[in-house]
Every structure is written in structure tokens, then in C-alpha cells.
């Protein structure tokens, strides 16, 4: 991918996100951030438990 295409993609993505942020309320953004943090924590915990289980069996 050329650098100009990468810059165009980053610019387009950033602009889209910023325009969406203007239409969302602060409550929605906080709710999304909290749900994302919970999802990341659960994903990490499940991965960690599965890794420990595989190491014990193997």
C-alpha cells in the first residue's frame, strides 16, 4: 500500500469517527468505553485461563 493511500485511509477513518462522535452523547461514549473495557477484561481472563489449562494438560 502506498503512503498516500494509507494517509487517505487514515484521514477518511478519522473524519468519519469524529463526525460520528459529534452525534453521540457523552453518556453513549462512556457506556461504550465501559463495555469495551469489560469485554477486553473478560477476553483476557478467558485467554489466560485457557492458556493455563493447556499448559497443565500438555
DSSP string, 10-58: HHHHHHHHHHHHHHS-HHHHHHHHHHHHHHHHHHHHHHHHHHHHHHHH-
DSSP character at residue 1: -
pLDDT for 58 equals: 56
pTM for this structure? 0.55
* Position 1 pLDDT exceeds 70: no
Higher pLDDT, 19 or 58: 19
**CA angle (51, 53, 58) in 5-degree steps:** 95
Tell me the per-residue pLDDT of 7-56, one tens digit each, with 9 for 90 and over: 888 899 998 888 887 787 888 889 999 999 999 999 999 999 999 888 77
Higher pLDDT, 1 or 22: 22
Amino acid at each position: 500500500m502506498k503512503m498516500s493511500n494509507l494517509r487517505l485511509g487514515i484521514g477518511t477513518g478519522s473524519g468519519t469517527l469524529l463526525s460520528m462522535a459529534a452525534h453521540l452523547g457523552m453518556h453513549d461514549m462512556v457506556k461504550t468505553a465501559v463495555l469495551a473495557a469489560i469485554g477486553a477484561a473478560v477476553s483476557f481472563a478467558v485467554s489466560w485461563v485457557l492458556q493455563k489449562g493447556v499448559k497443565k494438560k500438555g
